[in-house]
Structure 1
Amino acid sequence: MLPAGLSPPYRFIAFDVETANRNPHSICQMGFACVDDWGQIENFSLLVNPAEAFSAFNTHLHGIDAAMVRHAPLFPEVIAALAPLMAQQPVVQHSRFDERAVAAACGWHGLDVPALHWVDSVTIARRAWPEFKGNGGHGLGHLKQALSLQFHHHDAGEDARAAAQVVLHAEIKTGRSFVEILARQAAKFPRAANPHYEPFE
């Protein structure tokens, strides 16, 4: 299930989900953008069988339907394989939905919620670009335009990569690591707080 060539731990992993319907537990795709000490991104995504119906609205949004996930693994199998990777470094989400979706899916399937250190790239973006408040905002749609990001919105892998790029751009903009921008947990994740690469040159 994990792609070959991954080299954890990373400075951080950006993470995104898509859902089959309005229920946050109905995860049908997970995306990962693994960022190393030099700012290189290893990007992958996988489909998840939510074992429930897709809404027409959600399928229109992300293009995933029941036929595409018929032979995909169920959430318990996916989270069992990926939680150990995710737990080794901060997990970046753009807004808090992804964290809620994982918790909801764990509850739905009777699983313990994995102990992950979640970081919100919306908060990072707000601190890096306060001028966007009331002037486009800090959603991925506006940041795509403002930061000249190239990605396909509402694909979990693409959105995860975009969230990773937002963090890296914010570090360049502020001259600080994202942990320093958030001013929290620096001692817990020294790799994230003190990258070996020099993003500010």
Structure 2
Amino acid sequence: MHTIPPILDGDFRFFALDVETANTQRGSICQLGIAGVRHDNTIETWTSYVDPQTDDWSCTHIHGITGDHVLGAPLIADVLDLWDAPLMGAVIYQHSGFDKAAIVAACRTYQRDAPDWTWRDSVQVARKAWPELKGNGGHGLASLKRHLNLSFRHHDAGEDARAAAQVVLAAEAHTGVPQPA
């Protein structure tokens, strides 16, 4: 049986969030990662497997997560109950619109309102900071990993959340412009 890890504690400038899904249904979240960026720009990461209650694991080839990994893991509704209040009023970066859409779809599955969080997109931040990447690798995490010399395991929700936070921090350093937080 999986237990939900304790949430990140303390004061954070902003968060980054990433999900992995079991299949092409956006609500089939099987892993959730949250990276909190403190005021000194250190990053703490929280990750949990999530049981999407599905037999369709057609995205395992992308992230390696299987039904066996999530046996006994919490449901997304339980994880959102834990994180809803701590993330209320905080800025949350996602790398593209997929993660927010997945949270909304998962909430629809459980017939609950989606959290009213303040979402930002680290892809948009990267496009402004490094316009030269357009048509030259793009602004996806894999391209930014090479361009910014980041080190992370792509398609792990915690690692990707940390990478999205690092993209925002790198853009701030590169442009000298603090991002909304």
- After superposition, give the CA deviation of every residue in 1:69-106 in whole Å (9 maximum; x if it has no partner): 11001111111111112223100000000000000000
Equivalent residue, structure 2, for 1:195? none
Say if 2:55 is the partner of 1:72: no
Give structure 1 regions of 4+ aligned residues with deviation exceeding 6 angstroms.
none
Q: Which amino acid aligns with 1:19?
A: T
> Which entry has the higher C-alpha Rg, 1 or 2?
1
Q: 1:25 is paired with a residue of what secondary structure?
A: coil
Q: 1:17 is paired with a residue of what secondary structure?
A: strand
Are residues 78 and 149 of structure 1, via their aligned partners in 2, closer, same or farther at CA, if it must alter by over 3 Å? same
CA distance in 1, matches of 2:8, 2:151: 24
Equivalent residue, structure 2, for 1:29? 31
Q: 1:32 is paired with a residue of what secondary structure?
A: strand
Say if 2:64 is the partner of 1:84: no
Equivalent residue, structure 1, for 2:94? 93
Q: Which aligned pairs between 1:72-151 and structure 2 lie closer than 5 A?
A: 72-151=73-152
Q: Which amino acid aligns with 1:105?
A: A
Q: Which amino acid aligns with 2:10?
A: S
Equivalent residue, structure 2, for 1:17? 19
Deviation at 1:54, TM superposition (A): 3.2
Are residues 15 and 5 of structure 1, via their aligned partners in 2, closer, same or farther at CA, if it must alter by over 3 Å? closer
Q: Which runs of 5+ in 1 are unaligned?
A: 180-191, 193-201
Q: Which runs of 5+ in 2 are unaligned?
A: none
RMSD of aligned alpha carbons: 1.2
Q: Which aligned pairs between 1:31-46 and structure 2 lie closer than 5 A?
A: 31-46=33-48
CA distance in 1, matches of 2:22, 2:8: 30
* Seq. identity, %: 48
Aligned residue among 50, 53, 60 for 1:51: 53
- After superposition, give the CA deviation of every residue in 1:14-53 in whole Å (9 maximum; x if it has no partner): 0000001110000000001100111010112000000112
CA distance in 2, matches of 1:86, 1:63: 28
CA distance in 1, matches of 2:56, 2:162: 25
Q: Is the contact made by 2:126 and 2:171 (CA closer than 8 Å) also made in structure 1?
A: yes
Q: Is the contact made by 1:2 and 1:82 (CA closer than 8 Å) also made in structure 2?
A: no
Deviation at 1:2, TM superposition (A): 4.3
Q: Is the contact made by 1:25 and 1:102 (CA closer than 8 Å) also made in structure 2?
A: yes
Equivalent residue, structure 2, for 1:161? 162
Q: Is the contact made by 1:54 and 1:65 (CA closer than 8 Å) also made in structure 2?
A: no
Give me the TM-score of the superposition, normalised by structure 2.
0.95
Deviation at 1:4, TM superposition (A): 6.4
